[in-house]
Amino acid sequence: MPQASTLALVLSSSPLNEQDKLVALLTAERGVLKAVAPGAAKLRNRFGSLLELFTEGEFQYYWRQDRELVTLSRGEIRKSFFPVVSAADNVFYFCLLAEIVLKSLAPGNRDTRIFKLLKAVLAGREAGMDMDWLTLYFLTWLLRSEGLLFNPRRCSNCGARDLDQAWLRGDYRGLLCSSCRRGERLGLCRAELDYIAWTASHAPGAAGAWAGHFAPAGLLRILTGKIEHHGEFSLQSRRYLPEFR
């Protein structure tokens, strides 16, 4: 069987049977890769802590043309984010990010931005940035990279610009101004609209430079709802976050 190697982040790892684990990796350049890690479910195994959530590693694997699952042969940790990912205040946010990537990236999607974005979120949290703002930044860019983000500067019905307030259409596909609104309930204030526009030209590490004020919970719920709506799935891990209680 041909062998290959890839840089990747671990998105999930779960027992497949008594011996083996099923692992989902986000590779740096080839999208999501699903793999069997032989023997990884046993107490002592060759993978050690390589398969923990969001560990960045260099993974070697065998693959066959006729099989979706590849077989991990070995790997090496490039960087462990375990202390930051497993901290009680962070772990459910990271579970949500992993679930969103797994459910929303199509199998053939090789966009390299999501990998870089996750690395930036991990580095940002290590540097002490707020987890809710990092999550918000990630959701905004995930939608933008999938071509699903609405224009925060324009009413999708009449074209009015420079909105002070806007409402999301029932199908989540655009914003409406106060004149075009017909009972839509999900509203965004000026600061939230400004923030969405601001993320287009600022790296997550610049989040400290964001000068506006709003509590991120409302926009987190709106963007998560939009991701669920477009993907036609519901996210299990959001129920553990304070923003969704």
**For Zn ion, the closer CB: 19 or 165:** 165
Q: Which of 4, 87, 106, 158 forms a contact with Zn ion (CB under 5 A)?
A: 158
To the nearest whole angstrom, how small is the minimum distance from the Cβ of residue 67 to Zn ion? Answer: 51
Count the neighbouring beta carbons within 10 Å of the beta carbon of residue 47. 22
Which amino acid does the sequence have at 146? E
To the nearest whole angstrom, how small is the minimum distance from the Cβ of residue 197 to Zn ion? Answer: 18
Count the neighbouring beta carbons within 10 Å of the beta carbon of residue 166. 29
**For Zn ion, the closer CB: 67 or 161:** 161
Q: Which stretch binds Zn ion (CB under 5 A): 66-74, 96-104, 149-157, 231-239?
A: 149-157
Strand partners, 167: 176, 187
- The CA distance from 148 to 141, in Å, is 10
Six token digits for residue 39? 């023997």
| β-sheet with 187-189: strand ranges across | 175-176, 165-168, 187-189
Q: Which stretch binds Zn ion (CB under 5 A): 4-12, 33-41, 98-106, 178-186?
A: 178-186
Q: Are 139 and 145 in contact (CB under 8 A)?
A: no
**For Zn ion, the closer CB: 95 or 166:** 166
Q: Taking CB under 5 A as the rule, does residue 72 contact Zn ion?
A: no
**For Zn ion, the closer CB: 9 or 177:** 177
Q: Which stretch binds Zn ion (CB under 5 A): 38-46, 69-77, 103-111, 174-182?
A: 174-182
Would you list the DSSP string of 185-199?
--EEEHHHHHHHHHH
User: For Zn ion, how many residues bind (rule: CB under 5 A)?
Assistant: 6
To the nearest whole angstrom, how small is the minimum distance from the Cβ of residue 157 to Zn ion? Answer: 5
- The CA distance from 86 to 99, in Å, is 16
**For Zn ion, the closer CB: 131 or 177:** 177
Six token digits for residue 202? 């600022």
Catalog residues that contact Zn ion under the rule CB under 5 A: 155, 157-158, 160, 177, 180
